[in-house]
A and B are shown apart, each in its own frame.
Chain A
């Protein structure tokens, strides 16, 4: 039998992206000891490192700006559903975090006059988005934070540790259970405060910008621990996702920053501009928000005017080679290695699953309704409403991560060490032991094959354009997979780096997340922002409400409630 690794700390932070690393830093500067875990590698796994360019903060360096203007743009883009207090926290907190990162050696791109460069991303009323050249914003932020967490002896870092459950006692979080990916040994971590910064669920879609680890586990774990979700039906499909020709060595999101810097013409399969037919003003500068652009591209392809791979063309052929080189630097060489010459050919783009607006419902302390359980970053729902602005994900990770770490540390100090409940933790430990080797050699599907089925299903039935019929079908199949598919899956008995075991637990939590998304989408009988129903194409005032989901006696229960307007301001 595998020996259980037992650990204890004040604040456990799960997820080693920007939000999790910042939470760990903030927890220890507020007097706590922290353990920071990541399923892959701290500072390298997760979505933050993949962010290429825009990070919004009203610094006012490029032109006069104010966090209240940033807030107004964020609320406008959120189509009436933002939690205004959370959105305000994001916008008001962003400049301080950007300055702090600057002090930690993040090399923000600067103009000749020494001021930080800020670009105007779609939906922003000001030049507001800072970045690091070339297309390295996320990598630079992660490198700085990784350096910061690794120099603090009060932060214990554990890479290759997968979290499977938050352990509760009398409805309060008291720690967590997981396992060591390197050895399959179960792990129990006692902690009076737990911060989940595990990202979203975009891995569950076939076409995705997600790294290999965002399977919605945070959503599933939080639900099972008793937390509520908010507005999970809003999942952003990034309009200019790379489609063809095959390109490796660069994230498929690369075309939006390129458009922000250079313009770039979107053309249908006939070589015609089409955005003016969907409400964008004439001209090549790019201002359409992501939800509207995804709609335009989808409808153009659906009308039979798509490119050869059923997307649309994006052309930079009108831009000279020297301007391309100045804007893209070494990235041009990556295009070249993929036989892409932007001066001679357009590329094909199509929407791609990118970001989860909804998530765990939190207050402005990043606290869920479960005492001791916090959420931050993409996993925390509410700030972005029905549609997120380009550039708001990184400040959200930084601001909410910092906030969660501080508040979790203070909570842990007040609470001291809660009594551990072995009877709550042991079933989860036993499950880890039981799943390794289950049905091995009996011909059942592997977790990775099951995951592939889920991705196919989510892409085709729970994509940007939805109907009750498709959503019902998806929901029923997801339930069946969760109830029977997981039990039938064949899991390798290997101890060392057993990816099947990792994927089985991704599915255990991720299928619950996917089911919650399908159900939320089914319940919202209107079209708004990133949630478009072909059978309910209009936005309805009746649905200017947040949808909350909880897990009660094993069943997902939904309710619609009025939006949290600015209570604190």
Chain B
């Protein structure tokens, strides 16, 4: 057997309820079932959804689970958290864009310095 082919633990399932839309008023929640192993993060789940179910889901991330780029900030069950370190758990998890910033699309907000934009 090759490294990384073997699941670390039996698969569980989380249901992610995700805000989809181009503002806080114009949109809806969509729900996705995501298989996961113990220790997997919310970002792992979102990447899996993009890969297998909904490639046009908009999220920000760069460093992937290392928690240094800080791009994946979102509201997870009502609390501002990094998706890359928040763990998946069985049952419903609600994801919203961070508050206090304009929503661009889905979980992506206008979080960049305006001096780095056109």
B63 touches which of A49, A306, A448 (Cβ 8 Å): A49
Q: Is B104 a contact of A182 with CB atoms below 8 Å? A: yes
Q: Is A212 a contact of B64 with CB atoms below 8 Å? A: yes
Across-interface contacts of B50 in A (CB, < 8 A): 446, 448, 499
Give Cα A42 to B112, complex, Å: 10
In the complex, the chain B residue whose C-beta lies closest to that of A187 is B118
Q: Is B58 a contact of A460 with CB atoms below 8 Å? A: no
A244 touches which of B8, B57, B106, B108 (Cβ 8 Å): B8
In the complex, the chain A residue whose C-beta lies closest to that of B2 is A310
Across-interface contacts of A49 in B (CB, < 8 A): 63, 68-69
A-B contact count (CB 8 A): 149
User: Which of A66-74, A222-230, A489-497, A545-553 faces chain B?
Assistant: A489-497
Q: Is A207 a contact of B71 with CB atoms below 8 Å? A: no
With A182-B104, A248-B39: A499-B71 Cβ-Cβ less than 8 Å = no
B32 on the interface (CB 8 Å rule)?
Answer: no
A246 on the interface (CB 8 Å rule)?
Answer: yes
Across-interface contacts of A500 in B (CB, < 8 A): 55-56
Q: How many residues of A contact B (CB 8 A)?
A: 58
Across-interface contacts of B40 in A (CB, < 8 A): 246, 248
Q: Is A160 a contact of B56 with CB atoms below 8 Å? A: no
B3 on the interface (CB 8 Å rule)?
Answer: yes
Within 8 A of A (CB), among B34-93: 37-41, 44, 50-52, 55-71, 84-85, 87
Give Cα A247 to B87, complex, Å: 10
Q: Is B4 a contact of A243 with CB atoms below 8 Å? A: yes
Across-interface contacts of B84 in A (CB, < 8 A): 248-249
Q: Is B69 a contact of A309 with CB atoms below 8 Å? A: no
A50 on the interface (CB 8 Å rule)?
Answer: yes
Give Cα A41 to B84, complex, Å: 17
Q: State which size class the interface on B falls in.
A: 35 or more
Give Cα A406 to B59, complex, Å: 36
A525 on the interface (CB 8 Å rule)?
Answer: no
CB distance from A3 to the nearest CB of B (A): 11
Across-interface contacts of A206 in B (CB, < 8 A): 4
In the complex, the chain B residue whose C-beta lies closest to that of A203 is B64
Give Cα A44 to B69, complex, Å: 5
Across-interface contacts of A213 in B (CB, < 8 A): 62
Query: Which B residues are within 8 Å of any A CB, using their own CB?
Result: 1-6, 8, 22, 37-41, 44, 50-52, 55-71, 84-85, 87, 104-106, 108, 112-113, 115-118
The 7 closest A-B pairs by CB, nearest first: A246-B39, A446-B55, A492-B56, A251-B66, A249-B85, A497-B58, A350-B3
Query: Which A residues are within 8 Å of any B CB, using their own CB?
Result: 5, 40-42, 44-46, 49-50, 138-139, 150, 157-160, 180, 182, 206-207, 210-213, 243-252, 301, 306, 308-311, 337-339, 350, 446-449, 452, 460, 490, 492, 494, 496-500
20 additional A-B residue pairs with CB within 8 Å, beyond A249-B66, A308-B6, A460-B2: A44-B63, A44-B69, A49-B63, A49-B68, A157-B115, A159-B117, A182-B104, A248-B40, A248-B44, A248-B67, A250-B66, A251-B63, A306-B3, A309-B4, A309-B6, A309-B8, A446-B50, A496-B104, A497-B108, A499-B56
